[in-house]
Structure 1
């Protein structure tokens, strides 16, 4: 497959890796962006945006990066904290009264944002709920007992994260996750990213496809992703109804340039994230909050309020292979977004060409 775009001087090795991924068939549609010193120094595209292979991947192709979406759910929640609607450490039940039952009376927003609320999956009672019935899914979480005492264990809230925050925002701030992101967060950060893709942008969305038909069952996180059915079913996730819904944990649609640009400005004290949240919450967002063995990741993880953090990077990825990060060592950002659902080895090879280590970014990280 042809690779289009550009790579500045000094980034030829990155281009060669990307070209190899496209040439050997490991990639069928992806975008790569790298930013340094406020400028995009690499923007490369390869492959096709559709299953029929009639639409070449473009710089503005939108794709669903699964759990990379959670970063922007966290930002929406923190805007509500900024506005005084609730605090990070006060019980959610003070606002969402239906939620405060069966051991969840003291659960806080900080527990939710750091994946310690004890609800890493929807309860078994939600097995018959449709994937897009967000009201019933929220209700199932409100009525369920947590799997562990909130704050005592750790496991990425793989599909529940967005519904939990949506319930909190509805109760505490009188708004929805989709409204808070699309009306406040997205314009403030000038992001080409959407929860609920508008009609005018649908023709930019890439179709997801499996690298291996058995991929959904091979995931370490598979037990946490089965309820409700369909989140890994490409027939559902490629549908217009899904693309225009808000399933906050996984279905943001965005571009590689948008994600790398966001991470490029993430830590800056004169950047848009700092301006959106203010100094206190910006510091909270990026600071290590908890380190432990994440049952869903299957490895040791340090969570901030919206990212995975280690000595080398601040990052987030998602099942399927998409990832974005800020390199704390080299002071560049990068995003690799793909429609071909496999592991993170492709993004890891891109990272290695940049001198970065991409271990532990998502539920199927290269380890």
Structure 2
């Protein structure tokens, strides 16, 4: 498979690494983008967008990057906080009365956004619900007891994050996650990204595939991804119904160029994210909120409101190998999005070619 696109001066090693991933069979369909100083300096595409290998991967190919989606759930709810309809540190139960039982009476939006709300997975009682039963899954979260006292421990809310935020938005602001992202956040930031892919963009979506059949069972995060069944089932993930649904924790569909451009402007004081949220919430978004051992990641990490942060980067990755980040050291935004579900070693090799360290970006 040929690698198409461009890599500017000084980025030849990045292209070599990307080509090697393809040549070694580690990649069957992916996009890579790097932005620096307001322009795209790397845009590379390789492989196929479909399981039948008839559609070449293009720069506008959309793919589901799993938990990278969570960063945009955060932005959607922070817009409502900006407008005063919700507050980060008020109990959720003040808006969503049904949620305020079973030890969740004082759970706050901040605790949800920093993965400390005690609901890192859906409860066993939700096991019979369909993947696309939005109302049933929201109700199950309202009725369930947390796994730990909210605010006392940490574990990425792997599948529950979007449904928690959606429930809060519906109860507290009379809107939905899909509406806030697609009608407000997406156009404000100029993103080629969707919760619920529109009909006219479905032909751009890439099919997901496993690197090996045992991949879903080998994941450290597997225990947190079992309910509802089907999130890692490629037949479900590749269906039109799933692509046009809103499952906020994991099913944003977007391009590498869109994600790298977004991260390249994330921290800018005159950038679109700060303009969207205002100075105070923009600072909150990027500020380290909690550092602890994250059960789902299986390591100690620092969360902001929606991102992972360390001395070198602000980042978010997704199970399966996709990742995007802003390099605090080198001042560039990068995104590596793939349809071949495997670990993050491919993105880590790309990062190393950029002199970045991609340690801890997503659940493996």
> Which TM class, normalised by the smaller chain length?
over 0.9
Rounded Cα–Cα distance in structure 1 between residues aligned with 2:104 and 2:49: 43
1:145 aligns with 2:151: no
Rounded Cα–Cα distance in structure 2 between residues aligned with 1:306 and 1:299: 17
1:201 aligns with: 201
Structure 2: gaps of 5 or more residues:
none
Rounded Cα–Cα distance in structure 2 between residues aligned with 1:13 and 1:48: 23
Rounded Cα–Cα distance in structure 2 between residues aligned with 1:185 and 1:174: 17
Deviation at 1:86, TM superposition (A): 1.1
2:158 aligns with: 158
| SS in structure 2 at match of 1:333 | strand
| SS in structure 1 at match of 2:349 | helix
1:277 aligns with: 277
1:120 aligns with: 120
Q: Pairwise mapping of residues 94-113 of structure 1 onto structure 2 (< 5 A)? A: 94-113=94-113
| SS in structure 2 at match of 1:120 | coil
RMSD: 0.3
1:186 aligns with: 186
2:75 aligns with: 75
2:14 aligns with: 14
- The superposition leaves residues 93-141 of structure 1 with CA deviations (integer Å, 9 ceiling, x where unpaired) of 0000000001000000000000000000000000000000010000000
1:39 aligns with 2:39: yes
1:295 aligns with 2:295: yes
Rounded Cα–Cα distance in structure 1 between residues aligned with 2:83 and 2:219: 39
1:245 aligns with: 245
Rounded Cα–Cα distance in structure 2 between residues aligned with 1:285 and 1:270: 15
- The superposition leaves residues 6-37 of structure 1 with CA deviations (integer Å, 9 ceiling, x where unpaired) of 00010000000000001110000000000000
| SS in structure 2 at match of 1:115 | coil
1:49 aligns with: 49
- The superposition leaves residues 240-296 of structure 1 with CA deviations (integer Å, 9 ceiling, x where unpaired) of 000000000000000000000000000001000000000000000000000000000
Rounded Cα–Cα distance in structure 2 between residues aligned with 1:175 and 1:22: 43
| SS in structure 2 at match of 1:156 | coil
Rounded Cα–Cα distance in structure 2 between residues aligned with 1:165 and 1:333: 27
Rounded Cα–Cα distance in structure 1 between residues aligned with 2:134 and 2:237: 15
2:328 aligns with: 328
Rounded Cα–Cα distance in structure 2 between residues aligned with 1:16 and 1:243: 33
1:29 aligns with 2:29: yes
Deviation at 1:4, TM superposition (A): 0.2
Rounded Cα–Cα distance in structure 1 between residues aligned with 2:179 and 2:326: 27
2:348 aligns with: 348
Structure 1: gaps of 5 or more residues:
none
| SS in structure 1 at match of 2:247 | coil
Rounded Cα–Cα distance in structure 1 between residues aligned with 2:111 and 2:80: 16
Q: State the 4+ residue runs in structure 1 displaced beyond 4 angstroms.
A: none
Rounded Cα–Cα distance in structure 2 between residues aligned with 1:36 and 1:79: 27
Tell me the number of residue pairs that the alignment of Structure 1 and Structure 2 aligns.
364
Rounded Cα–Cα distance in structure 1 between residues aligned with 2:76 and 2:158: 18
Rounded Cα–Cα distance in structure 2 between residues aligned with 1:283 and 1:208: 35
2:229 aligns with: 229
Deviation at 1:174, TM superposition (A): 0.4
| SS in structure 2 at match of 1:49 | coil
1:338 aligns with: 338
| SS in structure 2 at match of 1:359 | coil
